[in-house]
């Protein structure tokens, strides 16, 4: 039996139900393919962990103390933008990300 199910909000609106289900199936397929090819991603998993550590501790993504969804969305978008700028400025090696997240 399939253990990945649709989120409940898929069924909220009939108009977008099929579109949401289609997107969910695509994302599920990508997830399963990624898990099956995990050996390819294993060498960079430490770098990915350091990037998320930077986002959580250095850019305050760990706990978002915002109640309105729009406000939390803006904070998250800003954090993703800043993290993208940081990596394009050359902080894209494992040691550089570690140093930056610890400062």
Regarding whether 52 and 32 lie in a shared domain, the answer is no
- How many whole angstroms separate alpha carbon 58 and alpha carbon 31? 28
Regarding whether 79 and 55 lie in a shared domain, the answer is yes
The whole-number pLDDT of residue 32 equals 86
The whole-number pLDDT of residue 1 equals 45
Q: Which domain holds residue 18?
A: 8-36
Least Cα distance to 50 among 3, 90, 93 occurs for 93
Token digits of residue 53? 């550590």
Regarding whether 76 and 56 lie in a shared domain, the answer is yes
Does residue 3 lie in a domain region?
Answer: no
- How many whole angstroms separate alpha carbon 53 and alpha carbon 70? 24
Regarding whether 62 and 29 lie in a shared domain, the answer is no
The whole-number pLDDT of residue 47 equals 79
The whole-number pLDDT of residue 11 equals 65
Regarding whether 48 and 32 lie in a shared domain, the answer is no
User: From residue 12, how far is each of 2, 9, 28 by CA, in Å?
Assistant: 22, 5, 20
Token digits of residue 90? 């050359």
Regarding whether 48 and 94 lie in a shared domain, the answer is yes
10-residue averages of pLDDT along the chain (103 residues): 60 73 85 83 77 74 67 78 82 76 70
């Amino acid at each position: 039996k399939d253990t990945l199910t649709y989120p409940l909000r898929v069924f909220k609106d009939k108009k977008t139900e099929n579109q949401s289900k289609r997107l969910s199936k695509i994302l599920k397929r990508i997830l399963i393919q990624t898990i099956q090819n995990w050996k390819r991603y294993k060498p960079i998993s430490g770098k990915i962990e350091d990037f998320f550590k930077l986002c959580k501790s250095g850019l305050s993504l760990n706990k978002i103390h915002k109640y309105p969804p729009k406000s939390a969305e803006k904070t998250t978008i800003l954090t993703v933008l800043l993290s993208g700028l940081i990596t394009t400025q050359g902080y894209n090696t494992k040691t550089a990300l570690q140093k930056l997240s610890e400062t």
